[in-house]
Amino acid sequence: MTLTELKYIVAVAREKHFGHAAEACFVAQPTLSVAIKKLEDELGVVIFERGGAEISVTPLGGQIVTQAELVLEQTAAIKEIAKQNKDPLSGPLRLGVIYTIAPYLLPQLVGTMIEQVPQMPLVLQENFTVRLIELLRQGELDAAIMALPVPDHGLMVQPLYDEPFVVALPKHHRWAGRSSITAEELKSETMLLLGNGHCFRDQVLEVCPEMSRYSSSGGGIARTFEGSSLETIRHMVASGIGITVLPRASVPYMDANNGMLRFIPFAAPEPSRRVVIAWRKSFTRSPAIEAVRQAVLRCSLPGVAMIDEAALQQ
CB 180 within 8 A of CB 213: no
The model's pLDDT over 88-122, given as tens digits with 9 standing for 90+, comes to 888 889 999 999 999 999 999 999 999 999 989 99
Q: pLDDT band at 219, cuts 50/70/90? A: very low
Peptide bond into 247 cis (omega under 30): no
* Pairwise pLDDT comparison (79 vs 101), residue with the higher score: 101
By the 8 A CB rule, do 194 and 286 touch?
A: no
For the segment 34-44, the average pLDDT, to the nearest whole number, is 93
Q: For residue 311, count other CB atoms closer than 10 A to its CB.
A: 9
Q: What percent of the chain has pLDDT over 90?
A: 46
Rounded CA gap, 242 and 193, in Å? Answer: 10
User: In the predicted model, is pLDDT for residue 126 greater than 90?
Assistant: yes
- Top pLDDT among 228 and 179 is at 179
Please indicate, yes or no, whether the overall pTM of this predicted structure exceeds 0.95.
no
Q: Which residues does residue 226 pair with via DSSP β-bridges, in sequence order?
A: 193
